[in-house]
Structure 1
Amino acid sequence: MAARVHELTGQRRPFVHATVVRAQAPTSAVPGDDAVILADGSIEGFVGGVCAETSVRAAALDTLRDGNTVLLRVLPNESEQFPSVPGAQVVVNPCLSGGAIEIFLRPMLPRPLIGIAGETTPIGAAVVTLAGFLDLEITKPMSYAGASAVVVAGLGRGDEQAIRAALDAGVPLVALVASRTRSAAVLDSLGLSPAERARVRPHAGIDIGARTHKEIALSVLAEIIRDLRATEDAPHAPLHLTDISEMSGGRTAIDPICGMTVVIGEDTPHAVVDGVEHWFCCAGCRDRFVAA
């Protein structure tokens, strides 16, 4: 599974790494078993049987949304004697075959991409250095697809081309490092539409009285982070700033046999009885419901 985790990280795909940290017989999982849960809810690897996977899938998708790690305790019933852990999320899984397990869920979110035009200038170089400290990933030069923001710090060298390239790549925020006068001239020369103009921050940077190159870089990145934070649905979520386009829609249903909450996906056991749709944690619950 380590190779798969490395592969997904390199592909900048959001996922959750789930690892069994404690297990009580007769559960089939053992400490060290692990799996990855992708943003579409699919699971690769092993952290327990079908019913345990149902609980893991639902909790994992929640961690992708808020970015928080979770210790998930899956118990067969509320009275199960299993050493408690403060702060753990407890799920009672009546389908579980007698055992209990604890699974650590760690969301792995791609770092936000920041493009820099003019990274060899003193201000551009300072932006690169500070971006690394802030866990921001720098794109390749002039490769802005998927970037959350682009800093244009060419100081008069190719600024217009960089702004045009960033806007054409769909970058939502372009920070132009220039004086107010030159910023106005650059933007006027581009003939931007109102919508494009709204995506550019002329004379970028929060006013902190910056004088040095590093201070200017700090003010620019502070403005970028502030603006991007303002667009997030969860203000306290990690600054991953990515469009998780494959994220499961989060539709859930209650298994009418065992009472579990299940995430509805392509592989979720399903049945239509008397014109009503029902979803189940496993094929066993579905078959029992249909036969009743």
Structure 2
Amino acid sequence: MSDRTETLRSQRTPYVLATVVRAERPTSAKTGDRALVLPDGTMEGFVGGECAESAVRDQALRLLASGESTLLRITPGADSSPLDGMVTVTNPCLSGGTLDVFLETVIPPALVTVHGDGPVARALVDVGRAAGFDARPAGAAEPPRPDAAAVVVATHGRDEEALLTAALRAGVPYVGLIASRKRGAAVTASLEDGDRVRTPAGLDIGARTAPEIALSVLAEILARRPAPEHAPAPTPAPREADQPEGGGHCCG
């Protein structure tokens, strides 16, 4: 499982790691069983039968939208002792036992690509990594990655229009240009959708040094990122009439 999670991290694929932390018999899952839930609903591993798997998948997909983690209790009857922060799903499809499953959501850090090799460009990469971004230097001919959260151009006049145009066409959420207000306005005036380019990039915090400018740009990226969705309440448990023939003993 560790090799698989490392591969997902290197591919910048979000996932939820589901771990059974408590199994009250009779259940087919045991404490320590684990599974991965991917954004397309694919599950790899084992955390119980069909009904337990369905409950874990449904909640995991909600958590991928919010970026949150939670403890999920799957129980065949009313839970008389819910814990703070626990999500409880009443699922009569279980064989009579209760499962507590910790759902850990792993979201790749925001990818920030930086064009340029000057002091500000280097500071953007260094400060960005220290702040938890996936900040990477990019070459002049390197196209924007489809999963980039931000592209910052700090090339001091070299290839600026081409780099900005590529980022805008790729739909990158944040496109920034390191330039004076006058030069930045002149560059973006010739671009289609040039009003989407943040220039001078960064919040106005009185930044002067390269690290301060980098900090102001990263703060602006944070300020403009979309707010995460909050995970909605789980769907109601299936009614007895909806259960597969044979009752709860099929899926626990």
Question: Could you tell me the TM-score, scaled by structure 2's length?
Answer: 0.85
Q: Secondary structure at the match of 1:148?
A: strand
1:69 has 2:78 as partner = no
Q: Which has the higher contact order (CA 8 A, sep 6+)?
A: 2
1:90 has 2:88 as partner = yes
For 2:222, the equivalent position in structure 1 comes to 225
The amino acid that maps onto 2:20 is V
* 1:15-46 deviations in Å (ceiling 9; x for gaps): 21100111122211111100011222232210
For 1:192, the equivalent position in structure 2 comes to 191
Distance 2:89 2:237 in 1: 14
The amino acid that maps onto 1:185 is A
The amino acid that maps onto 2:208 is R
Distance 1:215 1:140 in 2: 18
- Aligned partner of 1:133 among 130, 134, 153: 130
Q: Which moved more, 1:129-138 or 1:158-167?
A: 158-167
The amino acid that maps onto 1:192 is L
Q: Does the aligned pair in 2 maintain the 1:54–1:281 contact within 8 Å?
A: no
Taking the TM superposition and a 5 Å limit, the aligned residue runs for 1:223-262 are 223-229=220-226, 232=227, 234=229, 255-257=238-240
1:110 has 2:98 as partner = no
The root-mean-square deviation of aligned C-alpha atoms, in Å, is 2.7
Taking the TM superposition and a 5 Å limit, the aligned residue runs for 1:16-165 are 16-78=16-78, 85-118=83-116, 120-139=117-136, 141=138, 142-146=142-146, 147-165=148-166
The amino acid that maps onto 2:113 is G
The amino acid that maps onto 1:124 is A
Unaligned runs of 5+ in 1: 238-251, 259-279, 286-292
Unaligned runs of 5+ in 2: 248-252
Distance 1:76 1:45 in 2: 22
Q: Secondary structure at the match of 2:104?
A: strand
For 1:7, the equivalent position in structure 2 comes to 7
Deviation at 1:140, TM superposition (A): 5.5
Distance 1:156 1:128 in 2: 19
Distance 2:213 2:76 in 1: 57
The amino acid that maps onto 1:257 is E
* 1:240-285 deviations in Å (ceiling 9; x for gaps): xxxxxxxxxxxx6863436xxxxxxxxxxxxxxxxxxxxx565656
For 1:202, the equivalent position in structure 2 comes to 199
Matched positions, count = 243
Deviation at 1:160, TM superposition (A): 2.7
* 1:179-219 deviations in Å (ceiling 9; x for gaps): 1111122224xx322xx212211211111111111111111
The amino acid that maps onto 1:183 is G
For 2:250, the equivalent position in structure 1 comes to none
Q: Secondary structure at the match of 1:48?
A: coil
* 1:125-183 deviations in Å (ceiling 9; x for gaps): 11111211232213461341221211111122332332233223332321111111111
Distance 2:79 2:208 in 1: 64
Identity of aligned residues (%): 46
Distance 1:132 1:35 in 2: 30
